[in-house]
Amino acid sequence: MKWRRLLSFKRWTQVFKRLPRLLRAPQIPLGEKLLFIIPALLYWVLPDVMPFMPIDDIGVTLLLMNWFVSRAERKYPVLTAGESS
């Protein structure tokens, strides 16, 4: 991913708008959703167990959100067919 896109305010507003819809979408299997939820929760609950990762909890969550949204939109393009990018 390019840095310009990662630092784009427009991209992050899209991620925040699309994440709840993608997590509620019945077309995406629960296992796919857990690929986002479990690592985020583990990092929030167990930060002392993973001292080798010097990234803030919010930073890890944002990176996971961005990864999940781009992966789900790429894997399930039907969910984003009606939206304009």
Domain that holds residue 32: 12-75
Higher pLDDT, 74 or 56: 74
> Domain count of the chain?
1
Helix (H) or strand (E) holding 61: helix 57-75
Q: Is residue 80 part of a domain?
A: no
pTM of the model as a whole: 0.67
Q: Is residue 83 part of a domain?
A: no
- State both tokens at 46: 């167990």
- State both tokens at 10: 């427009």
Q: Is residue 84 part of a domain?
A: no
How does residue 3 score in pLDDT terms, banded at 50, 70 and 90? low
pLDDT tens-place string over residues 9-40: 788 888 888 889 988 989 989 998 998 888 88
Q: Is residue 23 part of a domain?
A: yes
